[in-house]
């Protein structure tokens, strides 16, 4: 196809007489349905990655059709570009509007039905990938050269704008609209916010790195805080776990897009909300993982093994275990405890039976708090279960009783440790440690009371760090331990 002649460009009909063709991925929605559907399929069956590679060998259109036939995406909760959507609705009142996308027709039809008002849907059909030159050819065959306006967001759309009556760009910056202006008239431009550092900080969940401070517990419990080598090794262990955890957080967010978008708070996560490109997620996750294990090799090989075990278990949690009733909370407690084991490996000490038992019961209680809060939120929203979990609202009393019991068992373990020969070796005045029991009993009871009232952050560890009274109790506990040592 040749570009429009000068005469054709000069004799432009008014916009209301020209059909408007709207792209979907990155334009009408701030996401990509191919990536969305592929991630949805992988979340249900990670081994699907292998047939996907085979489908891709038969062409991108075939890949899209095979994936679309195996998954269903809820168009209700997709991250729509609200400005573009509002403008498209205005245009639907005055002219013909067509959804024209490289996504598979099955998924595109679902979006068009949800949005409403489209006169037609042009999409990939399993044989032809409707992108770039293919899209331009179909539109010219349908409406003729210069017979349509086109809304797009990427450089590949320049091949379409070459034959369009006018262009509408959706972009960050101005380079795309400038390039489009050399081919046709740019009728309108929508500005997309640039994905900034704050979005990546949120995606990496840097605030969650506080959980990895558990690697310092063995250092403190062994009273080796003033040994420089041990401190440096523990700091490096903290960095390794933080980077590894962020890699898993990104992976988890990519696999949980559907359920996150139905959650009152998680729907604002950067990938779920469309603030970050989905395709960048796996790249960053892999990079963080490589750096994490590269740094881990500077420590003891046992630490590398513990870190690898943590990654495998937390990945299994993301893909499967989080949907299995009760197993999910046991795995979460184990993941917390593995940080303590990693801390002992970093400074070449033996794990303390007492510390590990205390950790398992305490963090099992906090994991139960997390599920309890999710179920309360689901109940308030009129749902019968928590999205993406294996629980329903009928489990609320069970979760509450088991969680509180586990928390009190951690206090029992602490009491038994205080009266054991092990505590007398490390503390000059171990009887002072008894003061920790009422402090911990109060904190656990108060935590469950706040959760019961439905006013807690849905992550109890974040609550513990940000809650003022919890920090006061932590300082009190530290003073008790200090007096017991001296």
User: What are the sequence ranges of the domains in the chain?
Assistant: 6-191, 197-485
For residues 330 and 337, give the distance between their C-alpha atoms in angstroms, rounded to a whole number.
11
Is 15's pLDDT higher than 80? no
DSSP for 328-363, please give it. Answer: HHHHHHHHHHHHHHHHHHHTT-PPPHHHHHHHHHHH
pLDDT at position 132 is 94
Mean pLDDT over 303-314 rounds to: 95
Range 186-222 burial, b when 16+ CB lie within 10 A, else e: bbeebebeebeeebbebbbbeebbebbebbbbbbebb
- Convert the pLDDT of each residue in 76-99 to its tens digit: 999 999 999 999 999 999 999 999
Is 13's pLDDT higher than 60? no
Element (H, E) at 188: strand 185-191
What is the CATH number assigned to the segment(s) 197-485? 1.10.600
Pick the closest to residue 85 from 142, 12, 24 (CA basis).
Answer: 24
Weakest-pLDDT range from 256-270, 286-300, 472-486: 256-270
Which residue carries 């919890």 as its tokens?
470
Three-state secondary-structure class, residue 170: strand
Query: Which residues does 399 contact at the CB level (< 8 Å), separation at least 6?
Result: 368, 371, 372, 375, 391
Tokens coding 147: 């017979």
pLDDT at position 12 is 54
pLDDT at position 1 is 43
pLDDT at position 387 is 65
Query: Quick check: 104 and 128 in contact, CB under 8 A?
Result: no
DSSP for 26-78, please give it. Answer: TTTBSS-HHHHHHHHHHHH-GGGHHHHHHHHHT-HHHHHHHHHTT----GGGS
The domain over range 6-191 is classified in CATH as 3.40.50.1000: yes
pLDDT at position 330 is 95
pLDDT category, 11, cuts 50, 70, 90?
A: low
Which residue carries 């209680």 as its tokens?
365
| Distance in Å from the first CA to the final CA of the chain | 86
Query: Quick check: 306 and 342 in contact, CB under 8 A?
Result: yes
Tokens coding 351: 């794990």
DSSP for 228-277, please give it. Answer: HHHHHHHHHHHHHHHHHHHHHHHHHHHHTHHHHTTSTTGGGSHHHHTSS-
Query: Which residues does 473 contact at the CB level (< 8 Å), separation at least 6?
Result: 439, 442, 443
pLDDT at position 263 is 76
For residues 303 and 236, give the distance between their C-alpha atoms in angstroms, rounded to a whole number.
11
Is 69's pLDDT higher than 50? yes
In the chain, the percentage of residues whose pLDDT exceeds 90 is 72
For residues 123 and 56, give the distance between their C-alpha atoms in angstroms, rounded to a whole number.
18
Average pLDDT, the chain: 90
- Convert the pLDDT of each residue in 428-456 to its tens digit: 888 899 999 999 999 999 999 999 998 88
Furthest-apart CA pair in the chain: how many Å? Answer: 96
DSSP for 102-127, please give it. Answer: EEEHHHHHHHHHHH---SEEEEE-SS
Query: Quick check: 114 and 29 in contact, CB under 8 A?
Result: no
Cα 203-204-208 angle, rounded to 5 deg: 110
Query: Quick check: 250 and 8 in contact, CB under 8 A?
Result: no
Mean pLDDT over 364-389 rounds to: 85
Mean pLDDT over 132-154 rounds to: 95
pLDDT at position 16 is 62
Half-sphere exposure of 399 (CA within 13 A, CB side): 27
Whole-angstrom CA distances from 289 to 199, 224, 253, 277 are: 19, 29, 16, 19
Q: Do domains 6-191 and 197-485 have the same CATH topology?
A: no
Three-state secondary-structure class, residue 210: helix
pLDDT at position 140 is 95
Which residue carries 């990519």 as its tokens?
254
Mean pLDDT over 332-340 rounds to: 94
């Amino acid at each position: 196809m040749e570009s429009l002649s000068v005469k054709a460009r000069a004799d432009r009909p008014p916009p209301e007489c020209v059909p408007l063709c709207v792209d979907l991925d990155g334009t009408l929605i701030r996401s990509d349905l191919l990536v969305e559907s592929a991630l949805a399929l992988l979340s249900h069956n990670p081994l699907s990655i292998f047939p996907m590679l085979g489908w891709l060998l038969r062409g991108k259109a075939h890949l899209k059709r095979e994936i679309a036939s195996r998954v269903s995406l809820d168009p209700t909760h997709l991250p729509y570009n609200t400005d573009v959507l509002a403008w498209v609705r205005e245009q639907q009142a005055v002219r013909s509007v067509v959804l024209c996308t490289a996504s598979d027709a099955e998924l595109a039809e679902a979006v068009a039905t949800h949005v409403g008002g489209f006169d037609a849907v042009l999409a990939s059909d399993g044989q032809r990938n409707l992108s770039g030159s293919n899209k331009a050819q179909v539109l010219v065959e349908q409406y003729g050269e210069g017979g349509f306006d086109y809304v797009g967001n990427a450089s590949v759309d320049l091949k379409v704008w070459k034959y369009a009556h006018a262009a509408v760009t959706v972009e960050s910056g101005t380079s795309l609209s400038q390039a489009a202006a050399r081919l046709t008239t740019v009728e309108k431009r929508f500005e997309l916010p640039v994905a900034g550092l704050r979005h990546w900080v949120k995606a990496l969940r840097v605030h969650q790195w506080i959980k990895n401070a558990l690697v310092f517990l063995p250092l403190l419990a062994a009273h080796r805080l003033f040994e420089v080598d041990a401190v440096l090794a523990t700091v490096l262990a903290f960095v390794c776990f933080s980077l590894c955890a962020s890699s898993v957080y990104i992976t988890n967010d990519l696999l949980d897009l559907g359920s996150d978008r139905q959650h009152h708070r998680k729907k604002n996560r950067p990938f779920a909300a469309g603030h970050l490109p989905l395709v960048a997620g796996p790249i960053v996750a892999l990079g963080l993982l490589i750096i994490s294990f590269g740094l881990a090799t500077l420590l003891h090989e046992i630490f590398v093994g513990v870190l690898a075990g943590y990654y495998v278990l937390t990945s299994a949690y993301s893909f499967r275990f989080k949907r299995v009733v009760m197993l999910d909370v046991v795995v979460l407690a184990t993941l917390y405890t593995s940080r303590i084991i990693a801390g002992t490996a970093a400074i070449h000490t033996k794990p303390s039976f007492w510390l590990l038992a205390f950790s398992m019961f305490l963090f099992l209680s906090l994991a139960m708090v997390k599920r309890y809060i999710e179920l309360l939120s689901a109940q308030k929203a009129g749902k019968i279960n928590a999205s993406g979990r294996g629980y329903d609202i009928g489990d609320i009393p069970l979760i509450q009783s088991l969680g509180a019991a586990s928390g009190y068992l951690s206090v029992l373990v602490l009491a038994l440790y205080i009266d054991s020969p092990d505590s007398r070796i490390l503390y000059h005045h171990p009887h002072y440690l008894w003061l920790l029991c009422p402090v911990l009993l109060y904190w656990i009871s108060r935590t469950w009371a706040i959760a019961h009232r439905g006013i807690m952050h849905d992550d109890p560890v974040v609550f513990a760090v940000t809650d003022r009274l919890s920090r006061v109790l932590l300082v009190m506990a530290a003073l008790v331990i200090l007096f017991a040592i001296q």
